[in-house]
Every structure is written in C-alpha cells, then in structure tokens.
Amino acid sequence: MKVTIKNWNAIAQWRWDIGKEFDETDDEDLCGICRVAYEGCCPRCKMPGDDCPVLWGECGHVYHMHCIMQWIEQQPPNKQNCPMDRKPWITAERKTANTATQQTQAVQS
C-alpha cells in the first residue's frame, strides 16, 4: 500500500523561543514585570505576538519588550538594570535560539 498525502490542514501554536526546550507539561512562563504569559501581551497591548514582542537580556531573563522598556525609562541612566538580578540590562542578540534550533535540527537529521 502506498499512502500519498494530498493536503493537510493542521493546527499549531506558536511560542517564543526562550532558549529552553518545549515541555508538554510546562508551567506558564510569565513576564517578570507584568506577570502575564510571554505568549500573551503586556497590559497596554491588545494583540499578542509580533505586536507585543519579548526581549531577551544578556542575563538570560526575558520580558515583554514594552514592559522592560518602560522599566528602563523609569530608572536613572546609570542604573538601568534587569529587574530580576540587578545586572545592567543588555538586550541579547538572538543567538541562543538559533543555535538551539540548529542543534535540534542537527539531532533530527
């Protein structure tokens, strides 16, 4: 028997790639500032996703972009720290995610 798939309407959810493996039974990952899930949106936004993205810090903490920007603005210039660990906030380049994806791809192939 030969099975040929003609068309497949599937359903998927998107997640922010926050550098850790997706886990079926994961607890909600919440933004440390607004306590809303990353995949949700910050209190000022209405649309999740690209309209309300998240930012990764060098320190490994992740916040909604709007939340962390507001936080940074409120701080004096010399004290623009990550609210979690008080290290100076530096927005990370998206390396971790890509390498992670590449690694998983490598494993699969």
Partner 1 sequence: MASPGVQALVEAKWQSAFKTLNREEPGISGLLKTSQARQLASDFLRPRALSEPRRKYRADVMANAFRLLYQTKQLHGVLENFLEEMRQQRHLITEDVEAYMHEYEVRPYAFVLVTEVHETADSQIIAQLVHRLVEWFNAWRPTTETDGHPGPLESLGHVAIDSYTDAFQTHIYSVLPPSFSSGFKDLIASTLPVSDPAPPPDRALWDAFHALGLIERYESLISSVCYELVEKHVVETCAGQWSERMLQDLRDWMQNKVLPWMCLPYAPGARTMEEAGASLHGVGPRFDFHVCKTLCDLRTSEIFDIIVDYPDSIDALYDLKECLYRVDQRSNLVQSLRKANKKRLLHPGADTKDILAQYVSTIRSLRIVDPPGVLLYKVADPIRRYLRDRADTIRCIVSSLVGDNENGESLIDDEPPLPYLTKDAEDYSDPHWEPEPIDAGPDFRANKPGDVISTLVSIYDTKDVFVKELQVLLAQRLLAVTDGNYEKERRNIEILKVRFGEQALQVCEVMLRDMTDSRRIDQHVQSQKPSILHPVIISRHFWPSLQSGSFVMPQKLRSIQEEYAREFTAFKPDKRLVWLSHMGSVKLELELQDRTIEAEVTPVAAAIIELFSEKDVWTAGELMAQMQRLDKEHLRKGLNVWVDLGVLKEEGADKYRLLEVAEESSKKEGTVSAPKPKELPAVQTTQQQQAEQMRVFWNYIEGMLTNLGSLPLDRIQNMLKFARGYDRSIEQLGMFMEAARREGLVVVRDGMWRLNK
Q: What is the contact surface with partner 1 in residues (CB under 8 A)?
A: 1-17, 22, 24, 37, 39-40, 46-50, 53-54, 94, 97-98, 101, 105, 108
Beta carbon nearer to partner 1, 15 or 87: 15
Rounded to a whole number of angstroms, the minimum distance from the CB of residue 34 to partner 1 is: 13
Rounded to a whole number of angstroms, the minimum distance from the CB of residue 30 to partner 1 is: 11
| 72 in Cβ contact with 89 (< 8 Å) | yes
Secondary structure element (H or E) that encloses residue 105, with its range:
helix 95-108
Beta carbon nearer to partner 1, 18 or 59: 18
Beta carbon nearer to partner 1, 25 or 78: 25
Of 107, 3, 20, 103, nearest to 61 by C-alpha is: 20
CB atoms near residue 67 (< 10 Å): 22
Rounded to a whole number of angstroms, the minimum distance from the CB of residue 83 to partner 1 is: 21
Rounded to a whole number of angstroms, the minimum distance from the CB of residue 33 to partner 1 is: 17
Identity (one letter) of the amino acid at 67? Answer: C
How many angstroms separate the Cα of 41 from the Cα of each of 9, 27, 67, 96? Answer: 27, 17, 10, 23
Beta carbon nearer to partner 1, 72 or 92: 92
